[in-house]
Structure 1
Amino acid sequence: MPHDQHPDVTEAIARERALHDPAVRLSRSLAEDLFDPEFTEVGASGRRWTYEEMLAALPGLHGGAETGPPIVATAFAGTVLAPGLVHLTYETVIGERRARRSSLWRRDADGPLRLFYHQGTPVPEAQA
């Protein structure tokens, strides 16, 4: 089965898209379900985020308000690295900012995939 058609890739993409929903970003309980307790991120700004830092900051970050610019995500590609471990890549546009993104989703026992690691890299204007 091609990686992009694997059920775990489909699940990871759906859960990644859920993280872009303002309703999820504003709800700690909904967001907690999507993040692995060992989550870390290196954001497009270069800042390193932990699980607790991200959950606390998520409502105020881009995409957290119904009135702000939406997160537009495209070009998803996924690979199953091992059972219960999915690597996603995609691009986002938020207002005028464009970034290439990479996420690792992992499954503990029989639960859902949860975001274990995320990195965003800004795309220079000349390449946008």
Structure 2
Amino acid sequence: MTPKAREFVLAAERRLLDPAVRRDRSSVEALLHPSFREIGQSGRLWDREATIAALAEESGDDFHGAVDMSEIELQTLCDSTFLLTYRLRVEDRWTRRSSIWLLTVHRARLIFHQGTKEPSVSGIGASEVSVDETT
């Protein structure tokens, strides 16, 4: 994967986290592949049209505070298909996210996304808690 491809995918993902982009139907349509599917945090399966409609109705409250991406990993699945995984912090909430992006010469398009809430233990993110599985 070239550094340019990496930046292209990361920039596209960050655009989808921008409240102004999320509420703009034409911007979201340009970023989502026609076959887009999402498994939401609730477990619901979303198609492209339902996702676009839901994002257009967002108040922006989901992302009104500090947004921080961490543990970013980008893997090449094939020549122009990439799996992006990362943790997202919005204020004191953490989620694990995965996105599959298809790249063309002109743009990146998201074909699949899943977001999963991380459980919190006394305000500590789940990945920061050590669990002894031998007991």
Cα gap change, 1:48 to 1:61, in 2 (>3 Å)? farther
Q: Give unpaired runs (5+ residues) of structure 2.
A: 126-135
Q: Give unpaired runs (5+ residues) of structure 1.
A: none
Calculate the aligned-residue CA RMSD, in Å: 2.2
Q: Quick one: which amino acid aligns to residue 77 of structure 1?
A: E
SS at match of 2:20: helix
The Cα offsets for residues 19-52 of structure 1, whole Å up to 9 and x where unpaired, read as: 0111101110111111101000001111111000
Matches within 5 A, 1:1-128: 3=1, 6-61=3-58, 64-65=60-61, 68-107=64-103, 110-126=105-121, 128=125
Q: Hey, what's the Cα distance between the residues in 2 that align with 1:45 and 1:117?
A: 16
Q: Hey, what's the Cα distance between the residues in 1 that align with 2:63 and 2:94?
A: 19
SS at match of 1:87: strand
Q: Hey, what's the Cα distance between the residues in 2 that align with 1:67 and 1:124?
A: 19
* RCO comparison, higher one (Cα < 8 Å, 6+): 1
Provide the TM-score with structure 2 as the length reference: 0.79
Cα gap change, 1:86 to 1:27, in 2 (>3 Å)? same
% identity of equivalent residues: 35
- Partners of 2:87 and 2:96 within 8 A in 1: yes
Matched length? 123
Q: Quick one: which amino acid aligns to residue 20 of structure 1?
A: L
